[in-house]
């Protein structure tokens, strides 16, 4: 499959068209961004690690019955995916309090959330991804009520599958963000990526941070932590 033209350049991935109108190529770059693109650095090996990590996780999710856009890995940093029309609503589940929730509500970081919470954010860097809700998404036509219900159902299903997967590998899945799109048949399909760039993972015993918070907070050892997560899960790098 040959890359044709660049369709979209995001903060960490570039999307290319292919000669098949139903397929796109995702290229995972080494660019690492935080605070809606305010802080950007190139981290060696990150593109390769995230591409392989994403392939591993998406395959597990497919096997658990969650429709994903994954087709096949093409190289260290490129993956062939189904073309989706992306919905600009980011779905976040939190199992423990961290990040913007702690800032917004003044709660203690690390507090377990029972049951887990579900939040939606508008994908818009210029507005810093403001929190939205189902009513706003429907009124502005970002998604239909049926699509939003499916996205929520699938996000909770992903949480069940991945909480167990990370738990077995000695990690807590603190929170994560998913993006969905609509395929040519009108189905809601999981798109974008799942990697330590878009979730929080802590060591179960020490609560050491093993995700992009190491970059956001300047803790160092960012890619080394991603590689540790991959190694604990048995992801071949």
CA torsion 23-28-29-32 (nearest 10°) is: 130
Are the C-beta atoms of residues 221 and 209 closer than 8 Å to each other?
A: no
Are the C-beta atoms of residues 58 and 194 closer than 8 Å to each other?
A: yes
Size of site (CB under 6 A) for ligand TMP: 14
State the nearest-atom distance from the C-beta of 128 to ligand ASP, in Å.
9
Query: Which window, 20-28, 35-43, 87-95, 105-113, contacts ligand ASP (CB under 6 A)?
Result: 35-43
State the nearest-atom distance from the C-beta of 201 to ligand TMP, in Å.
9
State the nearest-atom distance from the C-beta of 130 to ligand ASP, in Å.
13
Are the C-beta atoms of residues 201 and 210 closer than 8 Å to each other?
A: yes
What are the DSSP E strand ranges found in 19-111?
A: 23-28, 31-34, 39-42, 70-73, 78-82, 85-86, 89-96
Nearest residue (CB) to ligand ASP, 8 versus 35: 35
Peptide linkage before 115 cis (omega within 30 of 0): yes
Classify residue 96 as left (phi > 0), alpha (psi -120 to 50) or beta: beta
Residues numbered 179-198 forming contacts with ligand TMP, rule: CB under 6 A: 198
The answer to whether 212 contacts ligand ASP (rule: CB under 6 A) is: yes
Nearest residue (CB) to ligand ASP, 35 versus 140: 35
Query: Which window, 5-13, 61-69, 174-182, 221-229, contacts ligand TMP (CB under 6 A)?
Result: 174-182
Binding site for ligand TMP (CB under 6 A): 90, 92, 98-101, 121, 129, 175-177, 198-200
Binding site for ligand ASP (CB under 6 A): 11, 33-37, 212, 216
């Amino acid at each position: 499959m040959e890359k044709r033209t660049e369709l979209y350049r995001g903060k960490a991935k570039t999307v290319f068209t292919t000669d098949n109108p139903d397929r796109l190529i995702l290229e995972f770059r080494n660019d690492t961004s935080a605070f809606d693109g305010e802080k950007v650095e190139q981290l060696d090996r990150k593109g390769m690690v995230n591409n392989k990590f994403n392939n591993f996780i998406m395959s597990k999710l497919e096997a658990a019955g969650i429709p994903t856009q994954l087709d096949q890995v093409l190289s260290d940093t490129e993956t062939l995916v189904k073309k989706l029309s992306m919905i600009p609503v980011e779905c976040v589940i939190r199992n423990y309090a961290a990040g913007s929730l702690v800032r917004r509500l003044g709660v203690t970081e690390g507090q377990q959330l029972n049951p887990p919470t579900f939040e939606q954010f508008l994908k818009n860097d210029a507005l810093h991804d403001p929190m939205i809700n189902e009513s706003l998404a429907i009124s502005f036509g970002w998604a239909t009520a049926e699509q939003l219900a499916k996205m929520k159902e699938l996000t909770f299903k992903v949480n069940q599958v991945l909480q167990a997967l990370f738990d077995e590998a000695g990690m807590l899945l603190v929170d994560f963000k998913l993006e969905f799109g609509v395929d040519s048949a009108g189905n809601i399909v999981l798109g974008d990526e799942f990697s330590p760039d878009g979730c929080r993972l802590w060591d179960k015993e020490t609560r050491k941070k093993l995700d992009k918070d190491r970059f956001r907070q300047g803790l160092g050892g960012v890619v080394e932590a991603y590689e540790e997560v991959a190694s604990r899960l048995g992801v071949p790098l």
